C-alpha cells in the first residue's frame, strides 16, 4: 500500500504526522529516506492538538483516529470542560501520546537519517534543513509552514487549572524531554525545573 501510494502520488517529500506508526515499514521500503521530526514543547502542542481535535470533530474517520491515538491511555479527565466534550481526551492521555510519538520515531530511525528540530525554529534552521535533505534552500516553501493554523477555539488556561496542567506536563514529559529532546527545555520556563 505504501509503495502504491508513493507511486501514484509521485512523492519526493511526505509530511504526515500519522505515518509515525509506519516508520519501521518506511525504513524498510525506502532505506535511504531521511526523516525530519519537528517537535514543540508540550504546553503549546497540547493547545494546538486540542484545537485541532475540535476543528476535526465529527469527521468520522478522524474521530476514530483520535480514539485510536488517545483512547488506549486510561486517565481521568482534568477538567469538566474536557470531560463534557466527547471529542476531547484527558491531558494525561494526550501527553502520553505526545511522548510515545516522539520516542517511536527517535528509537526507530538511525541517527544519520534523522534531523530533530524545534517547530518554532524552522525559519531559522533552513540552512540545516536544506543541508540535511540535500536540497537547495530556495526550494523550501515557508508559505505552508503551518497549514492547519486557524482561528483558535480555546486556550488551555481557560479550561484546565494551570497547576494541574503543569503537574501533568512535569509528570509525563519533563524527564522524557531531558533525555530525548533537551533543547525543548529552553521553551518550558513555565515549569520549575
pLDDT single digits (tens) 130-159 = 999 998 888 887 776 555 566 667 889 899
pLDDT at 65 over 60: yes
pLDDT per residue over 84-129, tens digit each?
988 899 999 999 999 999 999 999 999 999 999 999 999 899 999 9
pLDDT at 3: 81
Residue 173 inside a domain? The answer is: yes
Residue 193 inside a domain? The answer is: no
The number of helices, as runs of H, and strands, as runs of E, in the chain is 10, 2
pLDDT per residue over 46-64, tens digit each?
999 999 888 888 878 888 8
Structural domain containing residue 88: 2-187
Residue 50 inside a domain? The answer is: yes
Instruction: Tell which residue, 109, 101, 99, has the closest CA to residue 23.
Output: 109
Residue 169 inside a domain? The answer is: yes
Measure the CA–CA gap between 148 and 146, rounded to whole angstroms: 6
> Residue 139 contacts by C-beta under 8 Å, 6 or more apart in sequence?
130
Residue 192 inside a domain? The answer is: no
Residue 161 inside a domain? The answer is: yes
Residue 48 inside a domain? The answer is: yes
pLDDT at 12 over 90: no
DSSP sequence for 87-143: T---HHHHHHHHHHHHHHHHHHS-GGGEEEEEGGGGGG-HHHHHHHHTS-GGG--GG
pLDDT at 56: 84
pLDDT at 146: 59
pLDDT at 18: 80
pLDDT at 175 over 60: yes
pLDDT at 145: 58
Residue range 7-21: mean pLDDT, rounded: 80
Q: What residues are paired with 118 via a beta bridge?
A: 39
Residue range 74-93: mean pLDDT, rounded: 92
Residue 115 inside a domain? The answer is: yes
pLDDT at 14: 77
pLDDT at 152: 63
pLDDT at 193 over 60: no
Q: How many domains does the chain have?
A: 1
Amino acid at each position: 500500500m505504501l509503495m502504491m501510494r508513493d507511486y501514484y502520488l509521485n512523492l519526493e517529500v511526505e509530511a504526515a504526522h500519522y505515518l509515525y506508526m509506519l516508520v519501521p515499514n518506511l525504513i524498510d521500503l525506502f532505506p535511504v529516506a531521511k526523516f525530519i521530526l519537528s517537535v514543540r514543547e508540550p504546553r503549546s502542542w497540547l493547545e494546538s492538538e486540542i484545537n485541532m481535535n475540535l476543528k476535526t470533530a465529527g469527521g468520522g474517520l478522524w474521530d476514530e483516529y483520535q480514539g485510536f491515538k488517545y483512547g488506549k491511555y486510561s486517565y481521568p479527565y482534568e477538567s469538566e470542560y474536557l470531560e463534557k466534550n466527547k471529542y476531547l481526551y484527558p491531558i494525561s492521555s494526550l501527553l502520553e501520546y505526545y511522548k510515545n510519538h516522539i520516542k517511536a520515531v527517535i528509537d526507530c530511525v538511525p541517527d544519520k537519517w534523522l534531523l530533530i528540530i524545534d517547530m518554532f525554529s524552522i525559519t531559522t534552521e533552513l540552512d540545516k534543513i536544506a543541508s540535511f535533505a540535500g536540497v537547495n534552500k530556495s526550494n523550501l516553501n515557508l508559505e505552508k509552514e503551518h497549514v492547519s493554523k486557524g482561528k483558535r477555539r480555546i486556550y488551555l488556561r481557560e479550561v484546565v487549572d494551570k497547576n494541574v496542567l503543569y503537574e501533568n506536563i512535569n509528570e509525563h514529559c519533563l524527564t522524557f524531554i531531558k533525555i530525548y529532546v533537551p533543547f525543548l527545555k529552553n521553551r518550558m520556563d513555565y515549569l520549575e525545573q
